[in-house]
Structure 1
């Protein structure tokens, strides 16, 4: 019964795991959705708070502006009513207003009109008799109404300046109580518009100064005659004095949130709005990122869960297969031509495959317990030790190296080893496995290829490629160390005739003999003898002056005479050579370069040929590549 119950539990385990996975993923998604909604609500609340703070600040600013204008108007009303009918009263008032013009600040202008709308006095520099304001709405209002409180009128276009202004007006009376006229103060609509544009309310946000009946006095857009004086919303409650709004304007896709603030002392209010799209732009962007990351994590959790469920199903099969795999590994290791080695954490050998007998000559039993690096060439041992240390530190899991190992018969072979870390189920490092193969033959072939790349196949000398590399190296060294660098260019005289007469095999033998003579005469290890091309040779002589260069060139010429290689078509009857030599000091001739040294030696070589062959010509010291074709040479 216990076995049956255990079997049933194991069959249900994947179902329980899948149900738990679904529950966890659902909880994560639900919590994330609630969090995002709460974040959105918080964003909207913060926007309302910011709009409210801004509306209250702007309301205070407008109240201060209107209070300044009202104070000026009260003073003018008092002056008019006190001096009504007195001689020179209007002239005195005009003088006072003119003197106050420079201190008006944000107030555009102050005006006084009589009962007919004619201009009595103003801060503006205009001719008073040219204007009459009896047609203005505020004038008509004060003429028929005895109310002497401040009137904030609709925006109008100034008659004196032409700009759009907000009007603030008060009535003044004659001494007998009759209507005497109007005192007016104006504030530029553009002043408020420019001031409001300093505040960031989003791309589609608005800041509006309104009368209590919803008439637009100014906003943060450019002054528009079609919009000024018109309603912005149908109804904004007077009570309470402030509050939040939510509405949608005609033609807009997004709802607006707004905050209005009524002034306490004057009949106006400030309305600040933002579209929900502007408010939620940053939240939407961040929410998309967060949701995307969350969905990736949920997908990862689901993938891991599926993987774990599969692992549960395969656990028994894997456990049964583990022993078989270990046995198969041993069979593969013992049947492999490569050496498979198990290295313990103390770097001693715990297992080695039988192929070590064929590769190294040692029986596996003779290597067990020995240090894994004991047979490695001492020069290569630090490299392998560093590899093992890096694997131990977890810097890498696998490393590969090529090094030399000592065989039982004391000979050395090149091997290539791949070392990989092995770990316990909990991830703890428990040793290394090294797969080693003999690559001696490949190393030999590689060395031969490298030699062929820099060696002339016929003469055994350095080839043109190697010569060019060494010339750059020696030029740089001579430049740094302020030493001289010499070059001999050697060309076998009438070599084409030699080939035509004796055949190409004899020509090859001649080149080989001449190459041997050149190599024998260039005694220093730093000297480089190269086949430059065809029957032309070059000898690069580091740290050699003109005297030493000439001496070597003359020795080579005499050695060729002594060799007596028969050449009937060469006047002496044997093989000779023309030699051109050049010496330079790169550290003192900075405008010159490696090509100039070859150029100078080549010119000297042609001078030697033109002078009758079988001779050496020494070029002057290299200073720069001359523009003339004729070489500057000194006969040898």
Structure 2
């Protein structure tokens, strides 16, 4: 029972420790995940803001250039000399030339008036272009950022930034347009580490996709105004963090968005949720493996502890049995008898019951041993022990080898009548064994029995008194002729 309790205690301790560590791990993993997401949010928010500032700078420079050209034309008109002056002025804008694909001026009929690059691979007219149609139909002289188109000078994708030209009377007089190469934006976006599945996008406020990195033709000009970004988030605030599954490649991403207050352009920087959390996931797996290994070690250690305690308990039991048993007969030995009589007297006192003690001695055993030999003597004693054990009538009755050929019985709750009956049964059972003893007047092995009975409460603390009385009764039985019992009270 002690080993089981120890094992259960150890097992419960292991479970509790494992649960505590597991809960701590879960909290740590959850906290670490939140910290990772926070770092991701901060990183993409900073990138989106930086790109928004960059884009606004390009747009401002383009707007300034367009305004300058518009002012020259509205003041001096569209003369050949002014076309030359405008072209020279545009060419001197070295700081813008890396981003600008072309600068063109179209007259009221859509005819090309002048351009930075006048070599066109397609039609030179702009009357069919969306920006020309827009300005012809709208009187606002604010710049207009149109959807991406393929440049007619070099066949590359460009973003158009344009402004309406007017006469002194306010009539439509043509368009000034700056085209920005999308590949320039892509080159910049490509230098930013957003992982293998990251995405950077630039969208108009109406939801037309201008630039998307990584680049694919079918993404350019796509309408995304029905996305959660435009339907939900931008209606609440111009900057923020969100997550969604891309309509283009079905990848879940965390993205930061920022809408430019001047031009309405929306810059988004998105990273794959799975990829961004990969370092956290790796750490979480390592921690999980660590706690698993630790738990296994605890379980194995508790198993070995239980095995060791079980072995020691078995050894202790065996030692206790060896220390408490008589090796020849398998009965309790003298030491156990002395211990048990104390506990049995205490038990009878508690119950208010009597207790009896019997001392049994094999008659003429020395002659038997001397004439038949010690092996036969041992066999005889073993048979005596087995017979005495079988003569008991209750489970709580005890028989012990008291020394040599003497045996002692403790009969808790047995009064004098029951003690005498058991004594008679023992004498009768031994006699019926018919063990030959030629050196006994009975011709077979017999026993003499001394019986003593007392109220347990009267011999408390003096258990020897009942043993002495039983021993005296044994000598009376022997003096009376052996093969009988005698009684002496306490």
Q: Identify the TM-score tier after normalising by the shorter chain.
A: 0.5 to 0.7
2: CA distance, partners of 1:80 / 1:251: 44
Q: How many Å apart are 1:124 and its aligned residue? A: 0.7
Distance change (3 Å), C-alpha of 1:129 and 1:102: farther
2: CA distance, partners of 1:165 / 1:284: 41
Distance change (3 Å), C-alpha of 1:131 and 1:166: same
Residue by residue over 1:156-213, the C-alpha shift from the partner in whole angstroms, topping out at 9 and shown as x without a partner, is: 0111221110000011111121111111011101111111011111111100011112
Would you say the 8 A contact 2:146–2:159 is kept in 1?
Answer: yes
TM-score by length of 2: 0.60
Q: How many Å apart are 1:239 and its aligned residue? A: 3.7
Residue by residue over 1:577-626, the C-alpha shift from the partner in whole angstroms, topping out at 9 and shown as x without a partner, is: xxxxxxxxxxxxxxxxxxxxxxxxxxxxxxxxxxxxxxxxxxxxxxxxxx
In terms of Rg, which structure is larger? Answer: 2
- Among 221, 234, 247, the residue aligned to 1:229: 221
Distance change (3 Å), C-alpha of 1:152 and 1:312: same
Number of the residue aligned with 2:56: 63
Query: What SS does structure 2 have at the residue aligned with 1:246?
Result: strand
2: CA distance, partners of 1:159 / 1:83: 28
2: CA distance, partners of 1:253 / 1:229: 19
1: CA distance, partners of 2:97 / 2:145: 18
Q: How many Å apart are 1:252 and its aligned residue? A: 5.0
Number of the residue aligned with 2:252: 255
Number of the residue aligned with 1:45: 38
Q: Does 1:118 align with 2:115?
A: no
Q: Does 1:172 align with 2:165?
A: yes
Q: Does 1:264 align with 2:261?
A: yes
Would you say the 8 A contact 2:3–2:313 is kept in 1?
Answer: no
Number of the residue aligned with 1:104: 97
Query: What SS does structure 1 have at the residue aligned with 2:296?
Result: helix
2: CA distance, partners of 1:251 / 1:231: 12
Would you say the 8 A contact 1:194–1:220 is kept in 2?
Answer: no
Tell me how large the CA RMSD over aligned residues is.
Answer: 2.7
2: CA distance, partners of 1:129 / 1:252: 34
2: CA distance, partners of 1:9 / 1:117: 102
TM-score by length of 1: 0.46
- Among 138, 143, 146, the residue aligned to 2:139: 146
Query: What SS does structure 2 have at the residue aligned with 1:195?
Result: helix
Residue by residue over 1:325-377, the C-alpha shift from the partner in whole angstroms, topping out at 9 and shown as x without a partner, is: xxxxxxxxxxxxxxxxxxxxxxxxxxxxxxxxxxxxxxxxxxxxxxxxxxxxx
Would you say the 8 A contact 2:147–2:208 is kept in 1?
Answer: yes
Count, aligned residues: 315
Number of the residue aligned with 1:337: none
Would you say the 8 A contact 1:155–1:228 is kept in 2?
Answer: yes
Number of the residue aligned with 2:294: 297
Number of the residue aligned with 2:331: none
Query: What SS does structure 2 have at the residue aligned with 1:88?
Result: helix
Q: Give unpaired runs (5+ residues) of structure 2.
A: 320-490
- Among 295, 305, 308, the residue aligned to 1:308: 305
Would you say the 8 A contact 2:78–2:113 is kept in 1?
Answer: no
Q: How many Å apart are 1:21 and its aligned residue? A: 1.6
1: CA distance, partners of 2:43 / 2:122: 50
Distance change (3 Å), C-alpha of 1:126 and 1:102: farther
Q: How many Å apart are 1:121 and its aligned residue? A: 1.2
Query: What SS does structure 2 have at the residue aligned with 1:266?
Result: coil
Give the helix-richer structure, 1 or 2. 2
2: CA distance, partners of 1:197 / 1:31: 41
Q: How many Å apart are 1:98 and its aligned residue? A: 3.8
Higher relative contact order (CA 8 A, sep 6+): 2
1: CA distance, partners of 2:95 / 2:54: 21
Distance change (3 Å), C-alpha of 1:130 and 1:16: closer
Q: How many Å apart are 1:109 and its aligned residue? A: 1.9
1: CA distance, partners of 2:248 / 2:126: 38
2: CA distance, partners of 1:137 / 1:284: 49
Distance change (3 Å), C-alpha of 1:129 and 1:94: farther
Q: How many Å apart are 1:42 and its aligned residue? A: 2.0
Distance change (3 Å), C-alpha of 1:275 and 1:128: closer
1: CA distance, partners of 2:84 / 2:303: 97
Would you say the 8 A contact 2:146–2:160 is kept in 1?
Answer: yes
2: CA distance, partners of 1:273 / 1:48: 10
